[in-house]
Structure 1
Amino acid sequence: MDTTFAADVSLSADGKLVLFVISARNQSVQCSISREALEQHFWLPAGANDVRALKAFADGRQRITAAAERRTLKSAGAPIALSAADFAGR
C-alpha cells in the first residue's frame, strides 16, 4: 500500500492520545494512538512526559503506521483510533 507519513504529530489536549495523519489510498486519514498502547507495546514508561510520548511514537512509527494502514482497508477514510488491542499478539 502506498502510504506516506505526515510530519504533523501532536498530543491531544488531555495527553491521552498521539494524533497523526497518514496519506493512504490517495486520501488523508486522521489517526490516533492511545498512550496506553504506547506504554504496553512501545516502551513508553507510565507517567512519562509529553516529549517522551512523542519519542515513543516516533520510534514505533513504522509499526504504528502499518496498523493504521490495515485499519484504513476496513474504514474507507474514517478516522482511525489505535489502541493496545491493535498490537496484541504481534
Structure 2
Amino acid sequence: MLTGKQKRYLRAAAHHLAPIFQVGKGGVNENMLKQIKEALEVRELLKVSILQNNTDDKHDVAQALAEGTEAELVQLIGHTVVLYKESTENKTIVLPS
C-alpha cells in the first residue's frame, strides 16, 4: 500500500509519460492484463488511456486494471489511469519513505 507522499512522488514522475495502452470498447481482457504486467515489470510506472468508446465506468476499469495486474492504482485523472508495480529485476524507482 502506497502512502500519500509516495503517491505524490509517483504522480509527479508519471506526469511526462504518454499512455502506452488503451482500453477500448472491448474492455479489460486477459491478454491486455498480461501485456500490462510485462510492461510494468520493465517500466514500473505507466499510463493507460480509457477511450471514449468504452461504456464501462472509468473507476471500475481502473480498479480492474489494478487488480488484474496486481499493481497499485496511483491516480485516475480524466480518462487516464496511472499504475505502479515494483519491479523484481529492473528496479529503477526509489520511493520516498
- TM category (shorter chain) comes to 0.3 to 0.5
**More strand as a share of residues:** 1
Q: TM-score, normalised by structure 1?
A: 0.33
Q: TM-score, normalised by structure 2?
A: 0.31
